[in-house]
Structure 1
Amino acid sequence: MQNKNKTVMKSMNILNLFRLHHKLTLNEIVQLSGIPKTSVHRMVGSLEDMGFITKDREGYYSLGLLLLEFGQLVAERLDLRKIALPIMESLRDNVDEAVNLIIKDNKEALYVEKLDTRHPVRLFTKVGRRSPLYAGACSRAILAFLPDEERDEYLNEIELKPYGQGTIIDKQKLKIILEQSRQNGYAISYSELENNTCSVAAPIFDFTGHVVGGLSVAGPDVRFNKERLPELIKKVKQATAEISKKLGWSG
């Protein structure tokens, strides 16, 4: 911590509050951040001047459009997203289900691209959403293929919490399922992040053979019956193999 600028860190803590809250007053920011009001007032003023946050007539602060611009630049410059997008479009058109692209960001999974299905009943995930690595097929496809030491360290540190009625919260069971995913090359989840949903996912590898992301098709579980699963597994694995090949993977 001694090598980090404390003011910058506190400012980032304030910005992080808006990941969970659409709008906040100055007093709410003080209460949620635990930072003294004089410091919050100074940092919020600077963030507003730079365009990171904006203030409405009622005195509520929200994220500014500058962050949208930065987010768009990050998305445009993310090579994995560029390479995967046309393959995702083909997969979506082929199976007519939502397709998600996820990467590992520290100890979480981060949605970096999503294509919706044409079905009127769909899942409402969005780019920028985060989820734990242990919950959901796409997240778990990444976790399963991490280096053994990194995966074991994560499992030893993480506290498993339920998100949906199917979330795996038993570590021994999770380890068995992760090993099955490594052997089979894919993962399936039922109601792990949201109830009455299903997802089929497979990992994406770079030229070194390291897992760099996951790709999934997801939707209401009524459309993912046992007769259809083999087809979805096959197509998802074909899509991730194609993306991995474009990233230089030859496995």
Structure 2
Amino acid sequence: MNQSVIKALKLLDLFTEEIQEFSLREIAMRSDLPKPTAYRLLTSLVECGFLQKTRDNEQGSSYRLGLKLLELGNLVSNQLEIREIALPYMGDLAQDINEVIHIVVANQNEATYIEKVDSTRAIRLYTRIGKSSPFYIGSGPKLLLAFMEKDRQERIIGQDELYTMEDHRIIDKVVLKKELKRIKQEGYAYSIGEQDLETTGISYPLYDYSGKVIAALTVSGLSSHFEGENLQVIRQKTQITAEKISEKLGYQAIKV
């Protein structure tokens, strides 16, 4: 473990609702660190936005929690809200179509699966909450990438090389960009065998009150279940469920 990182993060635990600001001397004393070490760690936390300096003069420096923590807290709060609201609808959909249902969100440079409702099939996908995937692999991650801000999308696609998960082939970025454009136009994503062989995924966007795509509702299962009329049924019911969840999140679709 990186002891410097651990020591720096432990400094954040000093701040409470009762005591929201400390001087450098107080932080060094409470953390049992030499003053120069405490100052070095605090400087790094200030640079990253986790702390802010409220005083810096001949009497010394003072610190309080920074806005970066508020930003991260809002992200966690949003994810908890999505899970709480979506879970009953996911359960109904899983019971109806008997496939695995996930909620996928953007998490820095990856897509993360934050909720799951399993199927009752004897042979099913063994995925887990907390699993992460590159944005360019799988229907859920790709849907998030398609609806992402253009500059962020370009940074992700602009990496040196992108590789498939199963056979580690280089992904054609021109083809990927065309697929992302189609996903955004058609409003859903579809993938076959990208994360696991012989599996299919279908994803629809979840919108918040401002009309921003904040997650993907993803249905996954063996590809043999996603054929013919059954495929159309799964698509239709997944779309309807995504729309219901979005409405609960405050989204109001424009009626035409």
Q: Same fold by TM-score, threshold 0.5 exceeded?
A: yes
Q: Is the alpha carbon distance of 1:11 and 1:108 closer, same or farther for their aligned partners in structure 2, counting shifts above 3 Å?
A: farther
Q: 1:130 aligns with which of 129, 132, 139?
A: 132
Aligned to 2:142: 140
Q: Which runs of 4+ in 1 moved over 4 A?
A: 9-12, 74-77, 165-168
Question: Share of identical aligned residues, percent?
Answer: 33
Q: 2:193 aligns with which of 191, 194, 200?
A: 191
Q: Deviations over 1:183-231 (max 9, x none)?
A: 1111110010111110111111111111111111111111111332222
Alpha-carbon shift at residue 148 of structure 1 (Å): 2.1
SS of the equivalent of 2:228 reads coil
AA partner of residue 183 (structure 1): Q
- Bigger Cα Rg: 2
AA partner of residue 248 (structure 1): G
Alpha-carbon shift at residue 150 of structure 1 (Å): 2.1
Q: Is the alpha carbon distance of 1:248 and 1:183 closer, same or farther for their aligned partners in structure 2, counting shifts above 3 Å?
A: same
Q: Is the 8 A contact 2:79 2:114 kept in 1?
A: no
Q: Is the alpha carbon distance of 1:182 and 1:77 closer, same or farther for their aligned partners in structure 2, counting shifts above 3 Å?
A: closer
Q: How many residues align?
A: 186
Q: 1:8 aligns with which of 5, 8, 16?
A: 5
Aligned to 1:108: 110
Alpha-carbon shift at residue 159 of structure 1 (Å): 3.0
Q: 1:224 aligns with which of 226, 230, 235?
A: 226
Alpha-carbon shift at residue 96 of structure 1 (Å): 0.6
Q: 2:212 aligns with which of 210, 214, 232?
A: 210
Q: Name stretches of at least 5 consecutive residues in structure 1 with no aligned partner.
A: 13-73
Q: Is the 8 A contact 1:202 1:214 kept in 2?
A: yes
Alpha-carbon shift at residue 77 of structure 1 (Å): 7.4
AA partner of residue 106 (structure 1): Q
Q: Is the 8 A contact 1:168 1:192 kept in 2?
A: no
Alpha-carbon shift at residue 169 of structure 1 (Å): 1.1
CA RMSD of aligned residues (A): 2.5
Q: Deviations over 1:70-103 (max 9, x none)?
A: xxxx699711100000010011011110101111
AA partner of residue 8 (structure 1): V
TM-score by length of structure 2 reads 0.67
Q: Is the alpha carbon distance of 1:76 and 1:132 closer, same or farther for their aligned partners in structure 2, counting shifts above 3 Å?
A: closer
Aligned to 2:71: none
AA partner of residue 173 (structure 2): K
